[in-house]
Amino acid sequence: MQKVIIIGGGIAGLIAAHVLADYCREILIIERDVLPAGPATRPGTPQAYHPHHLTPRGRMILQQLFPGLNNELLQNGAASSLGKEIWFSYPSGDLHIPEPANEAACSRSFLEWHIRSRVLKKETIQLLPATTVNDLLIDKTHNNVYGVTATRGNETIRLHADMVVVATGFHSHLSEWLHRQGYTIPEPEILTTLLGYSTRHYAFPASRSVPWSLLHAENPERPEVPTCVASFMENNVLEIILGNIGGQYPPTDSDGFEKVLQLLNIPALQEVLQQVTPLEAPRGYRIKDVTFRHYEKMASWPDGLLAIGDAFCTFDPIHGTGMTIAAMQADLLQTMLQQRSSLDASFGRDFLQAAARIVEPAWWMNAVADYGQPEVQHKYATPQKGLAFAHVFMEQAMQFAVQLREPALFGLVWLVKTSFLSPRELINRPMFQMLQEAGMAGPLEALIQAGKATDVAQWQDDICPDIPDYEDTLFIPRQVLQGS
């Protein structure tokens, strides 16, 4: 392959460029922002002010793609998890989970800047900043993309390429571009989350330390109370987020924000709040819907075109999914490039179909986690399977782990929630029986009695048939975990 254009220099665009660099003569990343010289927020990614946590799977792939990245982040000031614990606080009790390794925690801008610095060191990769792509160049006769048109200052430019990767994020215009050129766009799948975030940053004295790296407090019985997550990022900055779905937006003014923190009354947080200085007023972020754009279902998809990251599917940020999916898609791209001797005409389409299979379990899991609030609605021709049962199953398993003070069970729920392990590793007969013996299966039995879930007696091979049947290859085998 001679030349690839990547539209968007965010996380997905950068890691796609990194992977493609081994297979292409020339890569051009076109980015509408003027990119900052250091780790700073920028207009094109307003979400970067808010916490960006990596799931274990996302962390694992980034470390494989960029060996030594974790150490580099730590050396340059990222917070370290060494010897710390993650503290979960629920009305039913608290659970402290030891951090497994020395992992770096940092802002999205800090992570992106480190990745960008590495990517732009590659000779074949060039960056064209301050340039906004506004259309694709498509040869309709041969149904292939051969470049883009873009605006740079007052100038309109045309840039040619053999392949174009769209990594334009949450507000991607890819559907409009394709529609304008006569393509029929499939119905998008929508999850209306009505999510509200409010984030505040504080300076924490370098001389002090706390035993936790991340503190997560939520009250599933009172959905109107925001979830609160406090964590450390680079340069001793504590970031606290109040987040909620279902249209119950947390306050974004300083007084309102601090008042909620007091009302939450979490002793470990109260203690740390006495030692910090707010750096600025809180900032809010709202998302009405998240969208799975289903380009893989298009009857006609132009050759030489790929969509990756949020441009393909967006997720409820509260579950920390987006960067992991972008990393999994880049990993898929690398595998496909290794397997094919040449990039034939069907490459883009095959990639989308495989990328959609990666998205599906994570998308389902977002819907499972957000299920239960009347305002949260899934809108698509085909309803999603087993949301109510899976939601209640995960909640009961989580509460059981908290009551038992059982980090291993809690970890299992967490790894299933973050697409590391298959849902079948959790939602199965032995686990159901365990909940029954603990007297915690009542809400699940109620769903079965109401005809909303299949009776356990009818589960084949210990597996609940209400849960979608995802391929095992989409997950990390449990043995890998046991061996580590």
What does the binding site for ligand FAD look like in residue numbers (CB under 6 A)? 7-13, 30-33, 44-45, 47, 50-53, 58, 132-133, 167-170, 197, 285, 309-311, 317, 320-324, 326
Task: Report the nearest approach of ligand FAD to the CB of residue 296 (Å).
Answer: 17
34 or 446: whose CB is closer to ligand FAD? 34
Q: Which residues contact 354 (CB under 8 A, 6 or more apart)?
A: 332, 336
Question: Which residues sit opposite 155 in a β-bridge?
Answer: 152
246 or 386: whose CB is closer to ligand FAD? 246
Task: Report the nearest approach of ligand FAD to the CB of residue 362 (Å).
Answer: 10
Mode of pairing for the β-strands spanning 125-128 and 26-30: parallel
165 or 368: whose CB is closer to ligand FAD? 165
Count of Cβ atoms closer than 10 Å to residue 309 Cβ: 30
Task: Report the nearest approach of ligand FAD to the CB of residue 334 (Å).
Answer: 17
120 or 388: whose CB is closer to ligand FAD? 120
Task: Report the nearest approach of ligand FAD to the CB of residue 311 (Å).
Answer: 6
148: nearest Cα among 122, 178, 171, 118: 178
Contact yes or no for 215/229 (Cβ under 8 A): yes
CA contacts within 13 A on the Cβ side of 196:
17
Task: Report the nearest approach of ligand FAD to the CB of residue 168 (Å).
Answer: 4
Contact yes or no for 454/466 (Cβ under 8 A): yes
39 or 51: whose CB is closer to ligand FAD? 51
44 or 361: whose CB is closer to ligand FAD? 44
**Structure letter (DSSP) for residue 43:** T
50 or 293: whose CB is closer to ligand FAD? 50
14 or 427: whose CB is closer to ligand FAD? 14
Token pair 């009347």 is found at 374
Q: How far is CA 418 from CA 32, 60, 319, in A?
A: 31, 13, 8
Task: Report the nearest approach of ligand FAD to the CB of residue 165 (Å).
Answer: 11
Task: Report the nearest approach of ligand FAD to the CB of residue 309 (Å).
Answer: 2
92 or 151: whose CB is closer to ligand FAD? 151
Token pair 């990547």 is found at 6
Task: Report the nearest approach of ligand FAD to the CB of residue 299 (Å).
Answer: 25
Task: Report the nearest approach of ligand FAD to the CB of residue 97 (Å).
Answer: 18
DSSP string, 244-283: ESSS-PPP-SHHHHHHHHHHHT-HHHHHHHTT-EE-S--E
Q: Which residues contact 108 (CB under 8 A, 6 or more apart)?
A: 11, 45, 47, 48, 50, 52, 323
Q: Which amino acid is at 228?
A: C
DSSP string, 450-473: TTSS--GGG-BTTB-TTS----GG
Contact yes or no for 211/85 (Cβ under 8 A): yes
Q: Which amino acid is at 270?
A: Q
Task: Report the nearest approach of ligand FAD to the CB of residue 50 (Å).
Answer: 4
8 or 302: whose CB is closer to ligand FAD? 8
CA contacts within 13 A on the Cβ side of 350:
12
For 35-116, list the strands marked E by DSSP.
79-80, 85-90, 93-98, 104-105
d(CA 244, CA 223): 8
292 or 432: whose CB is closer to ligand FAD? 292
Task: Report the nearest approach of ligand FAD to the CB of residue 322 (Å).
Answer: 2
